[in-house]
Structure 1
Amino acid sequence: MKADIVLLLWLLFVTVYDFRERRAPNWLVLAGAATALAALVFGMQPFEIDWTSALLGAGVGFGFLLLFYAFGLMGAGDVKFAGALGLWVGLSALALIWIGASLMASAHSLLWLALKRWPFFPRLALLLAGPSRTPESGTPTHRPRIIPYAAYLALATAAWMVWGRQS
């Protein structure tokens, strides 16, 4: 199986999981990172990047989003996913992918805020807000994650794979 198909499947799994649960689980992130490393070892990397670019992509992807996590603006799964994604696409593609993902996340947020304020479509607002994480005691355990950022990173990566690499 070609490595780009494996990457697309991984991106699909991350997208679906993050939209449904608002988290990117460690097992899914590690599976993507291990597959990216295997593709590098066996010379099957779909974007023909070298080890340096892949490791820089992982480090910058993880490190940059770690700042957002430190301020409570992002979940840890999003940060780890960005690091694993950097192993796949390398450093040069990350900026374009981040811009695309951030635009989608901004649109999600603005639509959710508008629907929350003007509830014309209450089901859509609930869908955008994600699953409820309130325990039976009624007090939330942590701040809810409204934006599935790992999913938007995955979608932006898939779009980059289809349209962004054509030169």
Structure 2
Amino acid sequence: DWRQRRVPNALVIAGALAALAALGLQATPLHIGWADALSACAATFVFLLLFYAAGLMGAADVKFAAALALWLGLEGMLWTWIGASLLAAVHSIGLMQMRRWTGAVRQRRREVPYAAHLATAALAWMAWASAAR
């Protein structure tokens, strides 16, 4: 996502299938259950689909977030979404400042790799949640 602003569907599907397998084996890292994982996945998909429909987010970001929600559950996905949004905001402000200082022109419609920020925030959440248990 950082370089090409793409998240391959195969990667998203593999992540979702691995999460479902971990749920089936009751071996999820954060010990969430089926109800939490599936409701988080559905809520994330529907909520972020609105951002996609408004042209603010790519389809890959929505699919990646929904697969990630299977691992994190509702609470984890909420904090991950907040963290990723803060990271994306800082990234966006940095890009705007850089363009302002250098006179560069915007190159892409979506310059901020939101899936990468989601992954970063998810790793932070998982580390924090694991340490808190």
**TM over 0.5: same fold?**
yes
Instruction: Note the C-alpha offset of 1:22.
Output: 0.8
- Distance in 1 of aligned mates of 2:9 and 2:68: 13
- Distance in 1 of aligned mates of 2:122 and 2:112: 17
> Residue by residue, what CA displacement relative to the aligned partner does 1:142-161 show, whole Å, maximum 9, x if unpaired?
x6320100000000010111
- Distance in 2 of aligned mates of 1:86 and 1:25: 17
Q: Compare CA radii of gyration and give the structure with the larger one.
A: 1
Which residue in the other structure is 1:64 paired with? 47
Q: How many residues align?
A: 132
Scaled by the length of structure 2, the TM-score of the pair is 0.92
Q: Does residue 1:91 correspond to 2:74, yes or no?
A: yes
Q: Which runs of 5+ in 2 are unaligned?
A: none
Instruction: Note the C-alpha offset of 1:166.
Output: 3.1
Q: Is the 8 A contact 1:78 1:149 kept in 2?
A: yes
Instruction: Note the C-alpha offset of 1:119.
Output: 1.2
- Distance in 2 of aligned mates of 1:37 and 1:82: 15
Q: Does residue 1:158 correspond to 2:123, yes or no?
A: yes
Which residue in the other structure is 2:92 paired with? 109
Which residue in the other structure is 2:3 paired with? 20
Q: Is the 8 A contact 1:61 1:85 kept in 2?
A: no
Instruction: Provide the aligned C-alpha RMSD in A.
Output: 1.8
The one-letter amino acid paired with 1:156 is A
Q: Does residue 1:144 correspond to 2:109, yes or no?
A: yes
Residues 94, 22 of structure 1: CA spacing in aligned structure 2 closer, same or farther, 3 A cutoff? Answer: same
Q: Percent identity?
A: 52
Q: Is the 8 A contact 2:30 2:126 kept in 1?
A: no
- Distance in 1 of aligned mates of 2:48 and 2:38: 16
Q: Is the 8 A contact 1:105 1:152 kept in 2?
A: yes
Instruction: Note the C-alpha offset of 1:164.
Output: 4.1
Does the residue aligned with 1:22 lie in a helix, a strand or coil?
coil
Scaled by the length of structure 1, the TM-score of the pair is 0.74
- Distance in 2 of aligned mates of 1:77 and 1:44: 26
- Distance in 2 of aligned mates of 1:50 and 1:57: 11
- Distance in 1 of aligned mates of 2:40 and 2:26: 17
Query: Which runs of at least 4 in structure 1 moved beyond 6 Å after TM superposition?
Result: none
